[in-house]
Every structure is written in structure tokens, then in C-alpha cells.
Amino acid sequence: MYKLMKSVIEIIETLREEGYIHDFMIKNDELCCDSDGSIYEPADLMIEKTERYEGDSNPSDSAIIYAITAKDGTKGVLVDSYGVYSDPKLAKIIGDIPVREEHDLQDK
């Protein structure tokens, strides 16, 4: 199903349909949820799925999308640039979050 997706927006929309309705972001070097401002430690989260998107012509179009579930049941997505354009602060936090599945969404 995911192999047919053409954009980051399409991937996020599909994840929204699967219940990943919130957005996670970095704020003050911490991962938080956009809807209520909850702050999460990496140990309180699980990366359920990942998807790497590569733009057709511009390396800055590359992104990685994470489908994340918190211990409190909050489900959301986190998007970062991929490669040299990635956020080093975000990469450090993501590296500390456990991963449930080792494969990309495209493997499904």
C-alpha cells in the first residue's frame, strides 16, 4: 500500500487514518506533542513505523517520517529531514527511542 504513495503528505494522511493523529516536535531540546504541549522522554515512546521519502530532484526534499506511540496512548507523527539536512538534536532524541519494527512502511 505505501509503495504507491508519492509525497510526505500522503504518507502522513495514511498514518492519520491509522490513528497517528498528533504531531510530535522538538521544543527546547525536548520532544513534545503539539496538541497539549506534553513533554515526553524517549523511554516513554515507541517508534512503531518509519518511512523515508526521497524527492525526485532535490536532496533537501528528503524526509523521514516516524509513527510514534507514547505510553499514555498518544499516537502521532514526527517528520525530520533526511541525511545532511537532518536536525542533530532530533537525531539524538530519536536514537534513544525504542523501535518496534525494524522495517519501513513500504515493506508492508
> What is this structure's pTM?
0.80
Domain interval for residue 62: 2-107
Output the pLDDT for position 81: 80
Output the pLDDT for position 5: 53
* DSSP per-residue codes, 53-74: E--SS-GGG-EEEEEEEETTS-
Residue 107: pLDDT above 50? no
The total number of structural domains that make up the chain? 1
C-alpha closest to that of 53 among 5, 103, 107? 5
Residue 2: pLDDT above 60? no
Cβ-contact 12, 38 below 8 angstroms:
no
Coil, helix or strand at residue 3: helix
Q: Which pLDDT tens digit goes with each residue over 12-29?
A: 999 999 999 999 998 888
- Residue with C-alpha cell 537525531? 91
> How far apart are alpha carbons 20 and 16 in whole angstroms?
5
Burial of residue 100 (CB within 10 Å: 0-12, 13-18, 19+) is exposed
Q: Which pLDDT tens digit goes with each residue over 41-77?
A: 999 999 999 988 776 655 556 788 999 999 999 999 9
Q: Which pLDDT tens digit goes with each residue over 80-95?
A: 887 666 677 888 888 8
**Using 50, 70 and 90 to split pLDDT, how confident is the model at 100?**
confident
Coil, helix or strand at residue 89: helix
Cβ-contact 71, 44 below 8 angstroms:
yes
Output the pLDDT for position 80: 87
